Structure 1
């Protein structure tokens, strides 16, 4: 909806160039006194009787004062009308802030507030619509499955119950995401930093992701260089971030595809980067930033059942650590040519203490990157 400016009749603002309202009042007083004196001198010089000249001068001075004062106070009247419109839900009206004084600054701040309220109201409406849509799908699937079992159409065997369980888990995941969104909006989330050894940590996250529906046909590869690499972070939030990235990668991977999870020090040596790379169709270059917004799915419909919240929550959790998350260029030539990529990188600052070299008794050489083959 296009913002509308509140119309104002006889809006003459010759005093807008002054930066102080007090200066404007002083100029107004001086101008009125000067005009009144000039009109009095002209009327008396023309031979007009004082009994007629004085009322005429007063009347003309009032008209002159009204014109200047109306321009000075018109932003206040515009803000009054706009505030009344906002009370009824119309956030499209704007106030013309042409003056440089305190009233002009107030008008500019009012227009900014109206714009932010309009955006917030739009986001609220979109959130309600999207959440209603996302809740309807698992609830409808769960209800249909349970009705079939109750009516005797479907036997309550493990296969039927697994379908109901999958819909319940999907509903539970959506509720968890909505709770995370409430924490994001509240802006109050404490982090419990600890030193995390990434090799066992990533194996634990992948083991959990491999149990999700649809993850059985995916092959997992974990690479950590060096093997004892650590990061100073909140384990719960980092687990949530990687889990959301793996869920996204699983849903977009082809059957039998491979998902590579790798961790290493960044090029500057001051942090750790964690990459999640799947073999899906990738994200278009123009959508690389938008996929981290709420309810966005890379600019296309997502038949895989995603809520469009996982990557937004991952960006929030990474931001709490002072890091960044981004879609970087895909190393596969066939996707890089078209600007698409399925490689998401998380960079966390402060890699923590240097990894301690592994000194064990003579034995087999270190194992290569793990291809878990789930």
Structure 2
């Protein structure tokens, strides 16, 4: 685009007008007024109609082009930006300086472009992270099997147990990817059964016990009252709390505790996953549930900062994609909402509290 065209595109004399209808009215009034003024001048100075009318028409057309170009330039920018975005360039933005409907459309277009850029960046990160996550257990499994085949090591129960752990890790990775596809497809099938909350939470704690032991984190379960039940899909809900527990263990200082606290409230059951880590910033509490969003690095002095091997230690028995790829918590919210519940971060004087609210068992209502 030449500098002259760029200057014309930036010329928007009607940006202050708050409505496209008023702009069209101003365009008509301006062109008619300009033509009438030129006609009056021509008649006053006796130029004659053969010279006055062509000049008046030219002035009217020029005013119309100037005013209309300023009105439609955001639409042309959106057209060019949309073409660039179709080619993979999400950096284009539209100048949204007008106050009318086109200006509002430009603002919405820029917001959409930003979201698409973030989604594309997240997709690229997801591919890279998933490739890394899958490659790690495959490499470990291959090395163990090659050692057994080559006679370097014996197929002892310990060696086979290590291979089984890597296979289970791969299974968890594939399960999370399948859950992501179900989330996109809107699938919502659940196998509902009545679950005793205390025994269910104890099973979840047992599933992450090895991870907690490696991180020197104690696990506690508190249920009030005893015998509390919920109607839920056990496997889906177990996935939720194992994910939340794994994240809590990952961000809790050595020697501290993670607590699973369940209680009966009006209309449902509240289950809190409470850690003693650095907590979650208020501005990030909703954002962390968005797909492809990962937590930032832990601040200096936190458990992860003091123990850089914590994340690596918790991966084999953790939830795989829970934080490494930024889709774990989005799947947690999806699974909880399938049950008619909600999940959010609540205020805490120390650490963070992930609160899951679920409907009570129908047998207790």
Shift of 1:132: 1.5
Question: Equivalent residue of 2:312, what SS?
Answer: coil
Q: Equivalents in 2 of 1:77, 1:216: separation in Å?
A: 57
Output one character per residue of 1:322-364: Cα deviation in whole Å (capped at 9) or x when no partner. 222437647xxxxx4xxxx3x64433244346969xxxxxxxx
Q: Equivalents in 2 of 1:309, 1:42: separation in Å?
A: 77
Residues 221 and 260 of structure 1 are in contact (CA less than 8 Å); yes or no, is this contact kept in structure 2? yes
Identify the residue that residue 286 of structure 1 maps to in structure 2. 281
Identify the residue that residue 346 of structure 1 maps to in structure 2. 355
1:163 aligns with 2:162: yes
Q: How do residues 1-374 of structure 1 correspond to structure 2 at under 5 angstroms?
A: 8-10=6-8, 11-191=10-190, 193-209=192-208, 221-248=220-247, 260-266=259-265, 269-276=266-273, 282-286=277-281, 289=285, 294=292, 296=294, 299-300=297-298, 302-304=311-313, 305=315, 306=318, 307-309=320-322, 312=329, 313-320=331-338, 321-326=340-345, 329=348, 336=350, 341=351, 344-352=353-361
Shift of 1:56: 2.8
TM-score under structure 1 normalisation?
A: 0.74
Question: Equivalent residue of 1:167, what SS?
Answer: helix
Pair member with larger Rg: 1
Output one character per residue of 1:222-251: Cα deviation in whole Å (capped at 9) or x when no partner. 443222112343333222222333444666
Q: CA RMSD in A?
A: 3.6
Pick which of 307-316 and 130-139 moved more: 307-316
Residues 209 and 215 of structure 1 are in contact (CA less than 8 Å); yes or no, is this contact kept in structure 2? no
Structure 1: which 5+ runs fail to align?
1-6, 331-335, 357-374
Q: Equivalents in 1 of 2:54, 2:256: separation in Å?
A: 93
Shift of 1:216: 12
TM-score under structure 2 normalisation?
A: 0.76
Runs in 1 of length 4+ with deviation above 6 angstroms?
211-219, 250-258, 353-356
Question: Equivalent residue of 2:281, what SS?
Answer: helix
Shift of 1:169: 1.2
Q: State the number of aligned residues.
A: 336
Question: Equivalent residue of 1:272, what SS?
Answer: strand
Q: Structure 2 vs 1, CA of residues 184 and 44 (structure 1 numbering), >3 Å: closer, same or farther?
A: same
Q: Equivalents in 2 of 1:74, 1:203: separation in Å?
A: 63
Residues 205 and 239 of structure 1 are in contact (CA less than 8 Å); yes or no, is this contact kept in structure 2? yes
Higher helix fraction (1 or 2): 2
Q: Structure 2 vs 1, CA of residues 185 and 299 (structure 1 numbering), >3 Å: closer, same or farther?
A: farther
Residues 130 and 295 of structure 1 are in contact (CA less than 8 Å); yes or no, is this contact kept in structure 2? no
Shift of 1:291: 6.2
Residues 176 and 321 of structure 2 are in contact (CA less than 8 Å); yes or no, is this contact kept in structure 1? no
Identify the residue that residue 363 of structure 1 maps to in structure 2. none
Pick which of 283-292 and 8-17 moved more: 283-292
Pick which of 246-255 and 176-185 moved more: 246-255
Pick which of 132-141 and 239-248 moved more: 239-248
Residues 297 and 308 of structure 1 are in contact (CA less than 8 Å); yes or no, is this contact kept in structure 2? no
Residues 230 and 359 of structure 2 are in contact (CA less than 8 Å); yes or no, is this contact kept in structure 1? yes
Q: Structure 2 vs 1, CA of residues 261 and 24 (structure 1 numbering), >3 Å: closer, same or farther?
A: closer
Structure 2: which 5+ runs fail to align?
299-307
Residues 212 and 219 of structure 2 are in contact (CA less than 8 Å); yes or no, is this contact kept in structure 1? no
Pick which of 242-251 and 177-186 moved more: 242-251
Q: Equivalents in 1 of 2:106, 2:27: separation in Å?
A: 21
Residues 225 and 263 of structure 1 are in contact (CA less than 8 Å); yes or no, is this contact kept in structure 2? yes
Output one character per residue of 1:90-113: Cα deviation in whole Å (capped at 9) or x when no partner. 112122233344433433332232
Q: Equivalents in 2 of 1:250, 1:325: separation in Å?
A: 18
Q: Structure 2 vs 1, CA of residues 71 and 327 (structure 1 numbering), >3 Å: closer, same or farther?
A: closer
